[in-house]
Amino acid sequence: MIRVESTDGIALVRFERPPANAIELESATKLEETLARLEAEDATRAVVLTGHGEFFSAGLDLKVVPTYGPEQQRTMVMAINRLVGRLYGLGLPTVAAVNGHAIAGGLVVVLACDFRIGRRGSYRLGLTETRAAVPYPVAAMTVVTTELAPAVARRTVLLARNGTPENALADGILDEVQDGEAIIARALDVRPAPTR
């Protein structure tokens, strides 16, 4: 589900939960625990996050999460807040290597990274929570409103439309767009200066 490859102090974290790398309680918890472990390791100087296949992440797993009872739903919201808060405040530089679709919570994870590189292609990025009638957890909304210009945040959240990587680049959602597999090499190359 979460695969980590470390080279020269850079941890490449791949989220692999086919088909869409959607997030449910177990995967949110494991990803947050992985980030906490990497942050505690002296050998890790930066983290690169990417997905698997055609998706970076489709956000919440809308086949699993709606089946949760009230207590599990509360636990899920807390897990998302912990994950997004951990990533956004991580004491290591973070780079998102967006390999494919980044929808809803998947795009929030992208926005929580320090630098964001997208693959050139026909995939989509968007915050679709309002269309799906899913409320934003506090940490997610904090990241969205902090990382995006006010007009972009308003349009992205309220219209809930999916855009192209080029749209995301123009809106400041992505910092760069690269060809194909070059995103991983570029992400490893452009990592922000280490904090330790």
Q: Smallest Cα–Cα separation from 50: which of 186, 196, 148, 192?
A: 186
Q: Which residues are catalytic?
A: 129
Please tell me the pTM assigned to this model. Answer: 0.94
Say which residues have a Cβ less than 8 Å from residue 163's Cβ, sequence separation at least 6. Answer: 124, 125, 126, 171
Please give the radius of gyration of the chain, using alpha carbons only, rounded to the nearest integer.
15
Architecture in CATH for domain 2-187: Alpha-Beta Complex (3.90)
Instruction: Name the pairing type of β-strands 10-15 and 55-57.
Output: unpaired
pLDDT digits (tens, 9 = 90+) for 31-47: 999 999 999 999 999 99
pLDDT digits (tens, 9 = 90+) for 58-71: 999 999 999 999 99
Predicted pLDDT at 194: 54
d(CA 35, CA 33): 5
pLDDT digits (tens, 9 = 90+) for 94-123: 999 999 999 999 999 999 999 999 999 999
